[in-house]
Structure 1
């Protein structure tokens, strides 16, 4: 397990270019805060991938537009998380969770069919509902002010995304 974690850490460092300067002192971050940063990063990676897929595979202009919005917004949110990770020397995962990858595969299998958009919207509603719960837990229980502030900043963005896909109906805002 330790070898796997070291491999993931090395890959994350190479992939994200997150080598912290030697002069940067470690900032202690609690387990809740570290878990939030890692989980939110994986959520961002999943949303970016889903948004990119929607831009090329969606059948309706609305889903394509919402997909583009997700990419833009989650890239920005992830830049902020990466900065926090560097400051706290938190190693970020290099990919979405296995479950997130499987969910996206389930949607992408429907590419080019009428069922793609409905599957994508349903997946995004579930993902953004989970992300809001993660954010709310951080806001309630986080101990690192910078991480909790990032969660507070992300909350309205994620809530807007949820509103855009709620009920399996696409809404551009």
Structure 2
């Protein structure tokens, strides 16, 4: 099951590329791509929350550093997703999904305990793998060229996040 949090993270990164170019015409609604934008937005919100939580609760410097990177990147990406959604007349959710909330709660329950770092990294790895799958599906079957361009631009950022997470997992600190 793909978590919306992870999907949102990928979408936000993708939107960055599309938003940077001003449009000279009014864009048509991206009805087929709206679920992707919504999932990416929720994912960004969840990643920002997870990164902030890592900054407070992680005992490993590596986890805190990855968390800070996620916060910075996903804030920027989400701003771009919000702008693209507005341009395409797509209404975005105001909060993370219940599944994302549950995953966050599970990890936060380990705060101050030995397993927090491992749980946080595992959750982030799963989310980023799922987000990459979501992006790949959008690239394969998405209908709106602006949304597809945003997904294409986000893919390397999400892949980089996964590399950072895996490197941190390898340190076992």
2:48–2:74 Cα contact (<8 Å) kept: yes
1:90 aligned onto 2:90: yes
Structure with more contact order per residue of length (Cα contacts < 8 Å, sep ≥ 6): 2
Shift of 1:146: 0.8
1:80–1:150 Cα contact (<8 Å) kept: no
Deviations 1:102-125 (A, max 9, x none): 001000001011110000000001
Secondary structure, counterpart of 2:113 in structure 1 = coil
Which ranges in structure 2 are unaligned for 5 or more consecutive residues?
A: 1-24
1:125 aligned onto 2:125: yes
Deviations 1:123-147 (A, max 9, x none): 0011111111111111111111111
Secondary structure, counterpart of 1:80 in structure 2 = helix
Larger Rg: 1
Which ranges in structure 1 are unaligned for 5 or more consecutive residues?
A: 1-23
Shift of 1:170: 5.7
Summarize the alignment of residues 154-169 of structure 1 with structure 2, pairs less than 5 Å apart: 154-166=154-166, 169=169
What TM-score do you get using the length of structure 1 for normalisation?
A: 0.80
Counterparts of 2:105 and 2:150, CA distance in 1 = 29
2:51–2:68 Cα contact (<8 Å) kept: yes
Report the number of matched residues: 147
Q: Once superposed, what is the RMSD of the aligned Cα atoms?
A: 1.7
Counterparts of 2:148 and 2:167, CA distance in 1 = 29
Counterparts of 1:40 and 1:120, CA distance in 2 = 20
2:47 alignment partner in structure 1: 47
Counterparts of 2:150 and 2:45, CA distance in 1 = 17
